[in-house]
Structure 1
Amino acid sequence: MKNKKRPRSKKPAPYLTYEVTESKELFPFLREVLENRSRNSVKSILTRGQVSVNDRIQTQHNYMLEKGQVVKILKNKEAVKQEVFIGMSIIYEDEDIIVIDKEAGLLSIATKEERRQTAFHQLMDYVKQENPMNRIFVVHRLDKETSGVMVFAKSEKVKRKLQDNWKDIVKERTYVVLVEGKVSKEKGYIVSWLKESSTHKMYSSRVKNDGLRAATRYRVIQSNQQFSLLEVELETGRKNQIRVHMQELGHPVVGDKQYGGGHRRVLGRLGLHAKALALYHPRTDKLMFFRSDVPTSFYHKSK
């Protein structure tokens, strides 16, 4: 199928514009015309309202396009000007929490080098649109190059309840990890005590209580001679826990130069994705389950 791209005017248009040539669902159509973008990137563009069909914003993935309709995609630079989310989308929101799906490459919180283009800053701007007194509070973090599910609190009280009771409130934290080499053992359980060096790098100790206890369960989803795709469940949530334990296993995370990994060009990112988070709501105690689609590139490399 060839989609007719309409000619640009002399001044660059804020939209990419396409005319539909045959009936097709919206998400597959976007994947085709935005072939240089990842599945999660296209998903975010759609979720945050950057796509319109016949000048009507459309966020429904399976919306059926008809021949002759015009699809417009707001460019990311223009989207920034309009204060929509870049590199993330909201999965769930209520008066107590906001759950997001973060893309690899977006900082969770500010650093000395980058203060504005972070998940925290975007959400702070977002909640202040309703009331300038509103605030967002960090509950936990994902590394910049890790994608997936993150939770933020809307009050100091909720933040403290989540953090102080994290082990009891969180029922499941599941990651999908692309590691180097063929993992021979189908399932495993790693326990060690993690410590932090003077250079802020975490390392593992087998001496009981010599550091913070870290426990990780894993199972192999699929593998070949070069790479293995693992599903990893955290029993504890220590800094860089998965990355340290995968290095200790002898199969570092793809792209993780800090902890023994190479193959940066394989994915163009770290091979770590926060797939699922299940927790009891801090106010209602209702068990809630949130998930994020695993990048297809993880599966393709480990076939």
Structure 2
Amino acid sequence: MKGLKQMKTNHTSHPGDYDYYEVSEDSALLEWLLGNLKGESRTKVKATLKGRGIRVNGKQVTRFDYPLKPGDRISVSRSKKNDTFHSRYLRLVYEDRFLVVVEKNVGILSMAAGHSSLNVKAVLDDYFGKTRQKCTAHVVHRLDRETSGLMIYAKDMQTEQLLEHDWHHIVYDRRYVAVVSGEMEDDEGTIANWLQDNKAYVTYSSPVDNGGKYAVTHFHVLDRTVDHSLVEYRLETGRKNQIRVHSADMGHPVCGDTKYGNGDDPLHRLCLHAYVLCFYHPVTHERMEFETPIPPSFRHLFK
């Protein structure tokens, strides 16, 4: 059959839920699906696509015109919609045998702390159990409870170790978007200093080495009004509270920041979202690139 080769695969994310294919020529996704999924009506194919039942190279895709290249791997859900993962706190963005990428909402911890049971790791472990996967979620990096955005979790200890030991080489692009208080003067720049926690676990900065960790943040203003600025931050180092402290250092704290802010809280949330995450897969070494939209509420302030 032209353009189609069903794959023999050891992919185990959803036992029995998906059919796997490999693309042999350039095509747009919907066109390819209609030409190659025999016995499926156009309506059913479009519903599967809209219902997040199609993955290209492991990544959920809903765009009809998504460009396909020879060698791309397509997985097609056998049910119209993959109903195995439901959570109001996070969205499953990508999954394979070694790791998952999720987008977490505001208000959920990355991992358990004290008596609080609401955390991403627990939600993922529950999902792995329901889908009969013999694995648990391993925390590799963290986002604050009130920060939303993209995160990686490893499914086994080996993958976790690979990610943790070589994090700065594996992750080649991490960007956040924030609404900050006031009108930023510069369009772009870099802030670098030393960050250290005091006894109350508040991170403070120093222009000279204070025994803390050196932290580098690059910023780029995307939009501004007289009251607020929409800023993209690219992390060169990943220190605790780095963006929040560096924003405050510039005199433009992140809005809604109760720890380092100035009381400016237009959206009743910490206005910080991890929206770009690019890394080399620790096992397959493929480039993995993920981007989520800037939260609509952030954009709305700059209408």
Aligned match of 1:5 = none
In structure 2, relative to structure 1, the CA distance for the partners of 1:230 and 1:83 (3 Å cut) is closer
Structure 2 unmatched ranges of 5 or more: 1-43, 53-61, 65-82
Whole-angstrom distance in 2 between the partners of 1:231 and 1:104: 18
Percent identity (aligned): 39
Whole-angstrom distance in 1 between the partners of 2:194 and 2:222: 27
Aligned match of 1:45 = none
Whole-angstrom distance in 2 between the partners of 1:288 and 1:207: 36
Give the secondary structure class of the aligned counterpart of 2:94.
Answer: strand
2:255/2:261 contact within 8 Å kept: no
* Aligned-residue offset at 1:132: 6.6
Give the secondary structure class of the aligned counterpart of 1:185.
Answer: coil
TM-score (norm 1): 0.71
Alignment of 1:73-92 (within 5 A): 84-92=86-94
Alignment of 1:1-303 (within 5 A): 59=51, 84-115=86-117, 117-131=118-132, 133-208=134-209, 210-264=211-265, 266-303=266-303
* Aligned-residue offset at 1:297: 1.3
Structure 1 unmatched ranges of 5 or more: 1-52, 64-78
2:85/2:92 contact within 8 Å kept: no
Write the letter of the residue equivalent to 1:247.
A
Give the secondary structure class of the aligned counterpart of 1:110.
Answer: coil
Write the letter of the residue equivalent to 2:271.
G
* Aligned-residue offset at 1:182: 0.2
Aligned-pair RMSD on alpha carbons? 2.1
Aligned length: 230
Whole-angstrom distance in 2 between the partners of 1:147 and 1:189: 23
Whole-angstrom distance in 1 between the partners of 2:85 and 2:221: 41
Instruction: Find runs of 4+ consecutive structure 1 residues off by over 3 angstroms.
Output: 60-63, 130-133
Write the letter of the residue equivalent to 1:291.
E
* Aligned-residue offset at 1:131: 3.6
Whole-angstrom distance in 2 between the partners of 1:230 and 1:181: 11
Whole-angstrom distance in 1 between the partners of 2:112 and 2:297: 28
Give the secondary structure class of the aligned counterpart of 2:259.
Answer: helix
1:92/1:100 contact within 8 Å kept: yes
1:173/1:233 contact within 8 Å kept: yes
In structure 2, relative to structure 1, the CA distance for the partners of 1:157 and 1:178 (3 Å cut) is same
* Aligned-residue offset at 1:85: 1.8
* Aligned-residue offset at 1:179: 0.2
Give the secondary structure class of the aligned counterpart of 1:302.
Answer: coil
Deviations 1:57-97 (A, max 9, x none): 9625689xxxxxxxxxxxxxxx9xx9722211111000111
